Amino acid sequence: MQYASNDLTPHERYKVLTAFVLPRPIAWVTTMGPTGTVNAAPFSFFNVFAEDPPLCMFAINKRPDGRIKDTWSNIERTGEFVVNLTDEPLALKMHESSGDFPPNVGEPDYLGLKLAPSVDIKTPRLADAPWAMECKTWQVINVKDDRQLVIGEGLRFHIRDELWDDKAKRVHMDKYHPVGRMFADRYCRTNDRMEFPAAPVVKAAAAE
């Protein structure tokens, strides 16, 4: 089976992409509204792409009725945000925060999520997140006026102490249980893992 992209509607393309490109990491993005309300919303069109400078990118589309999402309005105004990651204990709250909340109702407050102050930006982070990155906007790519690709530069990392070996700069995988997005309202655990030996180093054949 095959499809030409142009033969599918945007919604059908979305379903094809999200059905197979998985599991996807989830950016649980906190932003601050004009009156100080803290917004938290999950985005699974997300990943990190560089380390010098540290860059992440996620996509914000409009709501089905055409309304601009609070996350984009806040980032456009402040130029900053925090990417929080989620693990199994926080997964349900993360999912619930994807609901439709009015701008003056903050998801952390409504769902009982604790906040912690950031250091380099005003927007707070989620205190219980296993990992969080304070970001300033590095670049925004406008896609057809209904989706923004937000590229953020990481300014500071926050890591839950028991998850990290500071000397080796390695995560304790036996203690870290991130959650991935599948499709629709389905997610996956990451406990069933594989480990392989080092990949081969193949030398070029000697010239004759």
| pLDDT tens track for 81-96 | 999 999 999 999 999 9
Residue closest to 85 by CA, chosen among 16, 152, 38, 27 = 27
3-state secondary structure of 201: coil
Identity of the amino acid at 166: D
Residue 208 lies in a domain: no
User: Mean pLDDT lowest for which of 39-48, 56-65, 146-155?
Assistant: 56-65
Contacts of 94 (CB under 8 A, 6+ apart): 26, 28, 42, 86, 179
DSSP state of 13: H
**Bridge partner residues of 80 (DSSP):** 136
Structural domain boundaries, residue 76: 5-188
| Tens-place pLDDT, residues 82-131 | 999 999 999 999 999 999 899 899 999 999 999 999 999 999 999 999 99
Q: 68 lies in a domain?
A: yes
Give the side-chain half-sphere CA count within 13 A for 112. Answer: 3
pLDDT at 21 over 90: no
Q: Which residue has the tokens 């990417």?
A: 83
The radius of gyration of the chain's CA atoms, rounded to the nearest angstrom, is: 19
Closest alpha carbon to 104 in 49, 167, 37, 159: 37
Q: Is the pLDDT assigned to residue 155 strictly greater than 90?
A: yes
Question: Beta 27-32 vs 80-84: how paired, if at all?
Answer: antiparallel
Number of domains in the chain: 1
Amino acid at 165: D
Query: Quick one: pLDDT at residue 67?
Result: 85
- Distance, C-alpha 49 to centroid of its chain: 12
3-state DSSP assignment of residue 93: helix
Q: Would you place residue 30 in the very low, low, confident or very high pLDDT band (cuts 50, 70, 90)?
A: very high
What is the mean predicted confidence (pLDDT) over 45-49? 95
pLDDT tier at 45 (50, 70, 90 boundaries)? very high
State mean pLDDT over 19-41.
95
Dihedral over Cα of 81, 82, 85, 91: its sign: negative
Domain assignment present for residue 49? The answer is: yes
- Proportion of the chain above pLDDT 90, given as a percent: 80
In the predicted structure, residue 208 carries a pLDDT above the cut 80: no
The verdict on residue 118 lying in a domain is yes
In a domain, 207, yes or no: no
Average pLDDT over residues 45-55: 95
> Quick one: pLDDT at residue 134?
98
Q: Is residue 45 part of a domain?
A: yes
Residue 205 has pLDDT above 90, yes or no: no
CATH number at residue 88: 2.30.110.10
CB contact at 8 A, 189 and 179: yes
Whether 198 maps to a domain, the answer reads no
In the chain, what percentage of residues exceed pLDDT 70? 100
**pLDDT, the chain, mean:** 94
| 163's tokens | 């998850």
Examine residue 178 and say whether the peptide bond preceding it is cis (omega within 30 degrees of 0): no
pLDDT score at 44: 95
